[in-house]
Amino acid sequence: MYNSSPYDPNLAYPTTHAATSVGTDPVAAAVLIGLALTFLLVFALVAYAVYAFLLGRIFKKAGVPQWAAWVPVYSNWKLLELGGQQGFWAVLALIPVVNIASLVFIYIAMYHVGRKLGKEDWFVLLAIFLPIVWLIWLGFDESTWPHNKKHAAKHTAKTHHKHTKKPAAS
């Protein structure tokens, strides 16, 4: 006969029949972890694509080739240079602890990029706390890079000069 009581007289301590495992199927857990990692990977790729697209728009204003925004370390190198900082901080950003100092120089560069595009001093706060807003704002506003105004004027003068006919020599 089966004893359904939690107390077994043959044991020194009363027992309960509670399961000690969580009852999770290992295959289900593996699938769940796989789905979570896939979601994170897709999210990271989409976030990087948005970042590179917007940074490319800023690079275009500054006269830097847009493809440079799609190259992981090189894009930060060019951003640092546009902001008047040494580009090697982009490589140092890969080293733990040193990356904190590198981040400070990236923020300084973002400050200078914002200033060159005619933004106020407070605008760097967007770069620090809401970088996606900073990128969207600078990528889509009508601001122009300071040297591009001169470059555009020279380009227009050269183009105009090429298309005007020279008087025929007599």
Please give the mean pLDDT across all residues of the chain: 84
Domain hosting residue 137, numbered range: 26-148
**In a domain? residue 65:** yes
How far, in Å, are 53, 160, 162, 163, 166 from residue 169 at the CA level? Answer: 52, 21, 17, 18, 9
pLDDT at 161 over 70: no
Residue 39 within a domain: yes
Between the alpha carbon of residue 59 and those of residues 75, 100, 105, 163, the distances in Å are 9, 24, 18, 30
- pLDDT of 152 > 50? The answer is no
Query: In this model, does residue 166 exceed pLDDT 70?
Result: no
Give a yes or no: residue 131 inside a domain: yes
- Name the pLDDT band for 81 (thresholds 50, 70, 90): very high
Residue 159 lies in a domain: no
pLDDT at res. 109: 97
Residue at 104 is within a domain: yes
User: For residue 125, is it within any domain?
Assistant: yes
- Reported residue count of the chain is 170
Is residue 11, in this structure, part of any structural domain at all? no
- By the 8 A CB rule, do 73 and 91 touch? yes
Report yes or no: 68 and 82 within 8 Å, Cβ to Cβ.
no
Query: What's the pLDDT tens digit per position in 13-58?
Result: 655 555 555 567 899 999 999 999 999 999 999 999 999 999 999 9
Kindly tell me if the per-residue pLDDT of 155 is higher than 50.
no
Tell whether the model's pLDDT for residue 165 goes beyond 80. Answer: no
Token duo for residue 95: 């080293």
- Please say if the pLDDT value at position 6 is more than 90: no
Averaged pLDDT for residues 59-79: 96
pLDDT the model gives residue 147: 78
User: Is 71 among the domain residues?
Assistant: yes
- Residue 5, pLDDT > 70, answer no
- Structure confidence at residue 62 as a pLDDT band (50, 70, 90): very high
Number of domains in the chain: 1
